[in-house]
Amino acid sequence: MDMKLKFAMPLRSAMVLSAFSLFVTACGSDENKENENSLLSDSTKTSIVKVNNEIFSIPSPIQTAILIKKSGVAFKKNILNPAEKAEHYTSNFSKAINVGAFGADLGYIAIYDQKQEAFRYMKSIKSLAEELGISDAFNADIIERFSKNMNNKDSLLSLISVAYRTTNAYLKNNEQHDISGLIVTGGWIESLYLATEIYNLSSDAEIRNRIAEQKTSLQRVINIVKPYGEKAEYAGLMDNLQKLSITYDSVHFNNTYVQSTTDASKRLTIINCKTEVEISDKQIKDISEEIKSIRKQITE
């Protein structure tokens, strides 16, 4: 029997400074949550990409990796895209999108303290980056620092973040928005794929919630890919993302405003919002199958 479940998300607040009692609310389905991001600095919470002068913010795959680790499911090497497949990617499209996919895998690996696996994946990413002409982001210094910090999970996560921020900055400065967009898209696809695979093993409520929240992020990913949809490789990806979007259409978010609090001395009003998400077992199953198919398309 299919079950339609409601999950309450953490209370969201907007702190508003106003001389005229101006109230601004902040409700949303995929904003960062402080209680699950203790390992992350602000710079590792989101992936930023610019396409045609529009800025898109996508939740970092490391966020999902943290939730996966919290679920209690042991490390599953078999769900990753094998690092050795890097040598089989020949087009810039496949190289860029799999830099993103390998980056999501690397975040998952680092969260689980899989030191040797982390180094293997970093080398594969470096190899693809060199072929794309963005090797500066994964230069000898980064690799050396990565090797020296194998026993420090927080440092590994920070180094991963530094490398990807440097990559994105280089691509934006050189107007290679398509490559930047593909890296972010590949990371998003792999991250959602990992979440669905682990959810099917654990039925963890927080991961289920995270899968549902990607409804909003998916629209941003589609907008990143859309400008290049006339190209053959992009067209297939775009069609599949649109199909996934149709499945997500029936996932609903219900925002409920709760009592606000005011600090008159600071002229500060805090308006709270509680969000509940409704997603059924069938929707989870359909999303899992579709993202698995999309992931197969980009990694094989």
> What's the pLDDT tens digit per position in 155-178?
656 656 666 565 555 555 555 668
Is-contact 38 270, C-beta < 8 A?
Answer: no
What is the overall mean pLDDT for the chain?
76
- Residues in the chain, how many? 300
| Percentage of the residues of the chain whose pLDDT score is greater than 90 | 39
Is-contact 60 40, C-beta < 8 A?
Answer: yes
81 vs 102: CA distance, rounded Å? 7
59 vs 54: CA distance, rounded Å? 17
CA dist 195 to 190, 219, 288, Å?
9, 18, 9
> What's the pLDDT tens digit per position in 242-285?
999 999 999 987 767 667 777 777 777 776 766 677 899 999 99
All residues at 6 or more sequence positions from 272 whose CB lies less than 8 Å from its CB, including other chains? 11, 12, 13, 257, 258, 259, 260, 261
Q: What angle do CA 47, 276, 105 make, to 5 degrees?
A: 30
CA dist 127 to 4, 98, 134, Å?
45, 11, 10
Q: Where are the domains of the chain?
A: 43-263+281-299
* pLDDT score of 6 more than 50: yes
What Rg, from alpha-carbon coordinates, does the chain have?
20
Tokens 């980009």, residue?
298
* pLDDT score of 101 more than 60: yes
pLDDT band at 55 (very low <50, low <70, confident <90, very high): low
> What's the pLDDT tens digit per position in 103-117?
899 989 988 988 889
Whole-number pLDDT of residue 157: 62
Is-contact 187 65, C-beta < 8 A?
Answer: no
pTM (2 decimals)? 0.76
Whole-number pLDDT of residue 41: 44
Task: Lowest mean pLDDT of 20-29, 160-169, 175-184, name the range.
Answer: 20-29
> What's the pLDDT tens digit per position in 120-150?
998 899 899 889 887 665 555 655 665 565 5
Is-contact 163 143, C-beta < 8 A?
Answer: no
* pLDDT score of 236 more than 60: yes
